[in-house]
Amino acid sequence: MLRSLACAALKRRLTLAVSAPQLQLPRSSSSGSGSSSHHLTAPATRFLSTVPSLGSPKKSFNTQPLETEGIGGNLLAALNDENPHVNVVRYEHKDRLWTMNRVQYWSEALAIGLLDYGLKAGDRVVSWLPERFSEQMVLQFACSKAGLILYELDPSLAIKDPEAAKVALRKALTITKANVLVSQEAGDDVNYVRLAHAVIPELEIQDMGNGIPFLTPRFPHLRICIQTGFDDEEKHGWFRYHHMLTPGSDDWDSYQEQLDETGTVITADMPLKGTLEVDAQGIPTAVGKSFSNKDVLEQNLWPTYCKILQKEFHEVEGVGVVF
């Protein structure tokens, strides 16, 4: 009798195990759908991104031609549809491997977060991040997806001359009329948040947790400041980078919905990369030439970004932040 009951219970468990839903990784298409279970899919994506590919990463891509309009964000989504789990870039810091799926998932999540905050195509972002940061790569793809113009301010000036770096930041925010500032918290023995506070003192007195829009009369166009740190201590005027990541859902296309609300259509000719003219000291003096989505791809202006889209496995050296 007991043996029969045990067999029956075991049979029920096996039946439940077979019929149980399986964990799904976030799937993305060229229209940008995300995942409906962020707390499940994000860790799964992180796990897979640390597993090396079997064989050469370069040979694991399909060779079929992809239809693209010269837009990095759209091309990334198309590549992800074909080969979501291929390794595309390795960051030496913490030995982190990124799959195509992970790049697409987080860049779309950042694009949704920025658009959801109220930004629109043509708005300007000043990045104070080094090229070696994975956060910079994700930001580049997010700007392509959202139609934002990304200006890059060299953070290495702060290592040599912190006072000059403050002047450079002030000038960059002024001449670009930046709507967004993205900065690392600290690195290379430099506290970038403190330098930014000297330029934008309102960051020390405002608390974004209150839901009140950020306001500074010094830079009236500036609407949001984002830092890569993981705490809010003495940084209440900032948003954390990883808090801006807003994954989509399988139930609706959150990314495309944000674009549709403003009637935005991302094209290859839309400006993506802005440049700054600087003097001998490295301080911006004027806004330089702008490059479109198509220009960035054709001229290989962003190394990691372009290597991923060219289907070439890429390694990035140096210490950086990994969210």
Confidence of residue 12 (pLDDT cuts 50, 70, 90): very low
> Between 31 and 173, whose confidence is greater?
173
> Between 255 and 235, whose confidence is greater?
235
Strands (E), the chain: 87-91, 96-99, 124-128, 149-152, 180-183, 186-187, 190-191, 224-227, 239-240, 271-273, 276-278, 284-287, 291-292, 314-316
Q: Is the pLDDT of residue 34 over 70?
A: no
The span from the CA of 188 to the CA of 142, in Å, is 26
Pairing between strand 276-278 and 284-287?
antiparallel
Name the strands in the sheet holding 149-152, side by side, starting at the edge strand that comes first in the sequence.
239-240, 224-227, 180-183, 124-128, 149-152, 271-273, 291-292
Which of 34-48, 104-118, 172-186, 309-323 comes out lowest in average pLDDT?
Answer: 34-48
User: What confidence score (pLDDT) does residue 162 get?
Assistant: 97
Q: Is the pLDDT of residue 288 over 90?
A: yes
Q: What is the mean pLDDT of residues 253-282?
A: 91
In the chain, the N- to C-terminal Cα span, in Å, equals 56
> Between 296 and 319, whose confidence is greater?
296
Whole-number Cα distances in Å, 216 to 23, 183, 193: 45, 17, 16
Q: Which residues pair with 278 in a beta bridge?
A: 284
User: What confidence score (pLDDT) does residue 261 get?
Assistant: 86
User: What confidence score (pLDDT) does residue 209 get?
Assistant: 87
Q: What integer best gives the mean pLDDT of the chain?
A: 82
> Between 14 and 168, whose confidence is greater?
168
Q: What is the mean pLDDT of residues 207-230?
A: 94
Q: Name the residue among 148, 132, 145, 69 with its Cα closest to residue 106.
A: 145
> Between 289 and 59, whose confidence is greater?
289
Confidence of residue 291 (pLDDT cuts 50, 70, 90): very high
Q: How many CB atoms lie within 10 A of CB 256?
A: 17
pLDDT tens-place string over residues 144-186: 999 999 999 999 999 999 999 999 999 999 999 999 999 999 9
Q: What is the mean pLDDT of residues 284-311?
A: 97
Confidence of residue 253 (pLDDT cuts 50, 70, 90): low
User: What confidence score (pLDDT) does residue 200 get?
Assistant: 98
The span from the CA of 303 to the CA of 89, in Å, is 11
Confidence of residue 35 (pLDDT cuts 50, 70, 90): very low
> Between 252 and 285, whose confidence is greater?
285
Q: Is the pLDDT of residue 228 over 50?
A: yes
pLDDT tens-place string over residues 38-91: 333 333 333 333 333 333 333 333 333 333 678 999 999 999 999 999 999 999
Which of 10-14, 96-100, 260-264 comes out lowest in average pLDDT?
Answer: 10-14
User: What confidence score (pLDDT) does residue 309 get?
Assistant: 96
Residue tagged 């290379």 (tokens):
188
User: What confidence score (pLDDT) does residue 69 get?
Assistant: 74
Q: Is the pLDDT of residue 192 over 60?
A: yes
